[in-house]
Amino acid sequence: MPLDFKALDNGLIVSCQPVKGGAMDKAEIVVGFALAAIDGGAAALRIESAEYVAAVRAATNKPIIGLVKRDLDDTPVRITPWLEDIDALAAAGADVIAYDATQRIRPVATNALIERIHSHGRAAMADCSVISDAEQALAEGADVVGSTLAGYTGPVEPTEPDFALMAAMRKLTPHVVAEGNVRTPAQAQQALASGASMVVVGSAITRPEYVTSWFRSALDETIAKAGA
């Protein structure tokens, strides 16, 4: 039975996705991050790969949003591009399966992805870049929409959350996930105020490489100004 998203209203979802090939890219560390996040108040988790979903599922019964990331030669779509990915995530224990809902060239049509997700009794989360992605996803039967890919379909990656997109999505559905560049508690608060019903925080909690680089860059900036 698909997850009831009303149970996650105002919830914090922690994305435990280590840097690929990084020091934290191990199942036991991902599980540790997940359990620590739950201890801190996370209502759900977002986990990449069937392997890591299965490892986290064995350690907790908290809701899991599962996804698979692939770098493919014939499409820019990275998040759960194949039907086989959905099958693997469902078998691993994901409650929700996220997919790229952008309107780009893809190996499998979005409506087919949603149909496969629902065939496993799982909820479908549409990772969107613009409001038209969300409109199409909801028309096709997606259960929840997220701002995950806002700005990521262009040449320059964004550094701020897209609060306007969250507000626009809220006019379409009460089930809106704020995701993407939420790095501070103040931004999480603003996401809820903008209309999000759930907030995902990832790198700021579970990617120490990134957080360290933010502090290092800030110090370097101060040093450069002092020497100017």
Q: Does 7-227 carry CATH code 2.170.120.12?
A: no
Look up residue 197 and give its two tokens: 């019903």
Q: Please state the domain extents for the chain.
A: 7-227
CA separation for the pair 204, 206 (Å, rounded)? 6
For the segment 86-99, what is each residue's pLDDT rounded down to a tens digit?
Answer: 999 999 999 999 99
| DSSP tag of 18 | P
Q: How many CB atoms lie within 10 A of CB 131?
A: 18
Give residue-wise pLDDT tens across range 100-142: 999 999 999 999 999 999 999 999 999 999 999 999 999 999 9
pLDDT digits (tens, 9 = 90+) for 132-169: 999 999 999 999 999 999 999 988 888 899 999 999 99
Predicted TM-score (pTM) of this structure: 0.94
For 141, the token pair is: 């039967």
Q: How far is the C-alpha of 138 from the C-alpha of 100, rounded, in Å?
A: 13
In SS3 terms, 100-164 reads as ECCCCCCCCCHHHHHHHHHHCCCEEEEECCCHHHHHHHHHHCCCEEECCCCCCCCCCCCCCCCHH
